């Protein structure tokens, strides 16, 4: 990382994310435009589950995400019938090809990290969140079987991500929110699988944990041992300053998604400088709590990138 606070923003590339070559080209162009300090590879979430038969469509969502139109888990017994996938399965193999293209075309001084959705997040995409939550509480043993299969598949995929030259994984957890699962429930359905997967990538230097949503169980940032943590710090506790006091690694955040979309460069500078003041620019990467919406103006992204220039006094 440079001798200043880091900065990293990432986004989805709808339509382009349906082919390895076009997603790689879009990601490389984005990096060439903004020169962020970390390149996060951001495929559609379905890349991890489409080889099991789910279907999704691009419907114009401002975050660039696709909507699921066919799930493959409907009955509790479906979890136990789920079979492990091999990394040579078409969509997993395609994402690995995309990662290799990006790594080949991004200079070695810039870390490239691959998005990995944790097993519960993948389970949500297989079943739909309503069905998943119903099965979690009524048929926990069946869901556990499915989570084991997803974990087995993801372990093999991470091995191949490492072989493809990634410098880290972006480990996305979506259900560590108190209104979805309390901490005890999350530990039962999530933690042991998360620890297994995170440990498999422990030798990588730029692993980042993403705790999605509000009312998050931030204590997971300590128990999982990932060096960088990213969350919606402007929308849910803890603040960046509180996060730094609770977490020994690097915190990533400081900008609201809405600020990047609806405000101007002056507001971005104000919000970013507040984040720098909270952290003193130490153990800090300027970013947002999640993806940059695809409707965010170019000038606002450029303002976020330029903000860290000349701020070495914070570092």
> Residue 21 domain-assigned?
yes
Non-local (6+) Cβ contacts of 13 within 8 A are 22, 23, 26, 27, 30, 42, 64, 294
Q: What percent of the chain has pLDDT over 70?
A: 98
Q: How many domains does the chain have?
A: 1
What is the per-residue pLDDT across 1-51, written as a single tens digit (0 to 9) for each?
568 999 999 999 999 999 999 999 999 999 999 999 999 999 999 999 999
Q: Is residue 311 part of a domain?
A: no
| 11 lies in some domain | yes
On whether residue 61 sits in a domain, the answer given is yes
Q: Does residue 64 lie within any of the structural domains?
A: yes
Q: Is the pLDDT of residue 176 over 70?
A: yes
| 165 within some domain | yes
Please check the confidence at residue 250 and state whether its pLDDT lies above 90.
Answer: yes
Mean pLDDT (whole number) for 258-276:
98
Which residues does 129 contact at the CB level (< 8 Å), separation at least 6?
A: none
> How far, in Å, are 2, 233, 239, 296, 304 from residue 253 at the CA level?
17, 6, 10, 17, 11
pLDDT in tens, 48-62: 999 999 999 999 999
Q: How confident is the prediction for the chain on average, in pLDDT?
A: 97
Number of Cβ within a 10 Å radius of residue 279: 23
CA separation, residue 250 to residues 139, 181, 230 (Å): 38, 26, 9
Answer for the pair 239, 216: CB distance below 8 angstroms, yes or no: no
3-state class of 235 per DSSP?
coil
Q: What is the mean pLDDT of residues 156-160?
A: 98
Report whether pLDDT(137) > 80. Answer: yes
Compute the average pLDDT of residues 233-259: 98
Q: Is residue 241 part of a domain?
A: yes
Q: What's the order of all strands across the beta sheet hosting 208-211?
A: 6-7, 284-288, 250-255, 228-231, 208-211, 168-173, 112-117, 39-41
Give the residue numbers spanning the domain of 19. 6-283
Has residue 315 got a pLDDT over 80? no
Whether residue 294 lies inside any domain: the answer is no
- Within 8 A by CB and 6+ apart from 269, the residues are 303, 307
Which domain CATH number covers 207? Answer: 3.20.20.210
How far apart, in whole angstroms, are the C-alpha atoms of residue 188 and residue 192? Answer: 7
What is the C-alpha separation between 103 and 115, in angstroms, rounded? 14
pLDDT at 3: 84
Contact 214, 193 (CB under 8 A): no
pLDDT at 213: 98
Helix (H) or strand (E) holding 206: none
């Amino acid at each position: 990382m440079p001798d200043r606070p880091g900065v990293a923003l990432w986004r989805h590339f709808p339509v382009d994310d349906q082919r390895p070559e076009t997603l790689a080209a879009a990601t490389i162009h984005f990096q060439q435009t903004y020169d962020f300090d970390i390149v996060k590879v951001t495929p559609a979430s379905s890349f991890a589950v489409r080889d099991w038969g789910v279907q999704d469509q691009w419907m114009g969502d401002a975050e660039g995400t696709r909507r699921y139109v066919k799930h493959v888990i409907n009955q509790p017994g479906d979890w136990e019938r789920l079979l492990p996938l091999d990394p040579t399965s078409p969509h997993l193999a395609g994402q690995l090809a995309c990662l290799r293209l990006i790594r080949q075309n991004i200079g070695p001084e810039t870390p490239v990290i691959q998005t990995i959705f944790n097993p519960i997040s993948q389970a949500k995409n297989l079943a739909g969140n309503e069905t998943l939550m119903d099965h979690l509480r009524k048929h926990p043993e069946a869901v556990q079987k499915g989570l084991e299969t997803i974990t087995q598949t993801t372990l093999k995929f991470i091995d191949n991500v490492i072989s493809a030259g990634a410098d880290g994984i972006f480990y996305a957890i979506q259900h560590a929110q108190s209104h979805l699962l309390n901490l005890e429930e999350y530990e039962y359905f999530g933690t042991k699988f998360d620890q297994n997967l995170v440990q498999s990538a422990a030798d990588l230097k730029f692993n980042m944990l993403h705790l999605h949503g509000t009312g998050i169980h931030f204590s997971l940032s300590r128990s999982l041992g990932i060096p960088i943590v990213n969350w919606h710090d402007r929308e849910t506790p803890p603040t960046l300053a509180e996060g730094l006091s609770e977490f020994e690694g690097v915190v990533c955040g400081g900008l609201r998604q809405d600020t990047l979309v609806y405000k101007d460069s002056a507001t971005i500078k104000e919000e970013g400088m507040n984040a720098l003041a909270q952290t003193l620019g130490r153990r800090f990467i300027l970013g947002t709590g999640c993806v940059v919406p695809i409707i965010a103006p170019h000038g606002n992204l450029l303002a976020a990138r330029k903000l860290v220039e000349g701020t070495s006094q914070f570092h």
